[in-house]
Amino acid sequence: MFKRLLSALALATIAGPALAASDLIVTITPPASPAVYQNASYNVRVNNIGNQNAANVTVTIASPTTGSSPTNTVLGLVGTRSTGCNLSGTNIVSSLGTINKTKNKSVFFDIALPYGSAPIVFTATAATTSNENSYTNNSASHTASLTYATATVDTSNGPVTVVNSHCSGTNITSWFICTLFPSSIASHTALYAGDGTLTFPGEDPGLTGTWSQPNATTLVFDYFEYGDHVASFFGRGVPGGCFEGVTAFIGSTYSAGYEVCP
């Protein structure tokens, strides 16, 4: 009997403090099928599923970034957001105050996203100055899935001149990065023929290429220099009839953000 009593007291001592605490859980509700460069609203909710109130709650939303150096910024245009939510570097930080037990609070933010060659990921993490039962559910992540605009290189009436604007560097994942540093942008033209080949008027005739549209929102091309494969582009349609994407240079650590406009 005495042993059983001691065991029960030991369990109570261990379990009691763990149960008497808050417990925050985070969920992200994305917009339905956001379009590229369309201002869309994301909702972040913090639930307190514990049995104690959670004081001084904050939620930090880590936005997708350009990954550029030396200036790393949000990959996209942040718009309206909830009162008390401020942009700090590439994070949106919101103060939620106290969330009572079994209650929740939500914040929202609007953002217009560009095409990116890497996954566009948001991560929201909640914190409190109160004790918590578990920290494993304090974060949630969401990978954006965008819809793209229809854009066409129409060669039905003959070859089409295409203007390629671009900037180069390392860790380039989006043409959007180039727009932040306009002085880095250069351009060249290419002539797209109906047979899927392309040439560069006024340039070295040894520089050639091929192009195709796998679907109405996608453009791919490859550049060759005297038969050697030197670059590959993959891009998606954006408003205005252009494509945005990234060109990878074969055998190099450099890449380039491209805007391709027929």
Q: Which CATH number fits the domain that encloses residue 199? A: 2.40.128
Whether 245 shows a pLDDT value over 70: the answer reads: yes
> Which of these three, 77, 111, 143, is where a domain ends?
143
If asked whether residues 114 and 174 sit together in one domain, one would say no
Contact by Cβ (8 Å): 198, 205? no
The answer as to whether 195 is a domain residue is yes
The single-letter code of the amino acid at 28 is I
Helix (H) or strand (E) holding 176: helix 175-180
Distance, C-alpha 7 to centroid of its chain: 52
Judge if 98 and 171 occupy the same domain: no
Looking at residue 88, its pLDDT comes to: 95
Distance CA 194, CA 168 (A): 29
Both tokens of residue 44? 């972040």
Same domain? 192 vs 247: yes
- Please tell me whether residues 84 and 138 are part of one structural domain: yes
Give tens-digit pLDDT for 10-22: 444 444 445 789 9
Q: Is the dihedral of CA 69, 70, 74, 76 positive or negative?
A: negative
The model scores a pTM over 0.75: yes
Element (H, E) at 186: strand 186-192
pLDDT one-digit tens code per residue, 199-227: 999 999 999 999 999 999 999 999 999 99
Buried residues in 127-164 as b, exposed as e (16+ CB within 10 A):
bbebebbeeebbbbebebebebbebebebeeebbebeb
Indicate whether 142 pLDDT > 80: yes
The CA distance from 48 to 25, in Å, is 6
pLDDT of residue 3 exceeding 50, the answer is no
**CA 198 to CA 207: how far, in whole Å?**
9
Residue 127 lies in a domain: yes
Q: What is the mean pLDDT of residues 52-78?
A: 93
Dump pLDDT digits (tens) for 78-121: 999 999 999 999 999 999 999 999 999 999 999 999 999 999 99
Q: Quick check: helix, strand or coil at residue 151?
A: coil
Q: Is residue 213 one of the residues assigned to a domain? A: yes
Average pLDDT for residues 40-53, to the nearest whole number?
97
Give the integer Cα–Cα distance in Å for 238 and 233: 15
How far is CA 144 from its chain centroid? 6
92 Rama class: left (phi>0) / alpha (psi -120 to 50) / beta: beta
Quick check: is 118 in a domain? yes
Of the three residues 110, 143, 176, the one that is the final residue of a domain is: 143
The C-alpha atoms of residue 148 and residue 213 are separated, in whole angstroms, by 14
Expressed as residue numbers, the domain containing 208 is: 160-261
126 plus 189 within the same structural domain: no
Number of helices and strands (H, E) in the chain? Answer: 2, 17
The reply to whether 138 and 166 lie within a common domain is no
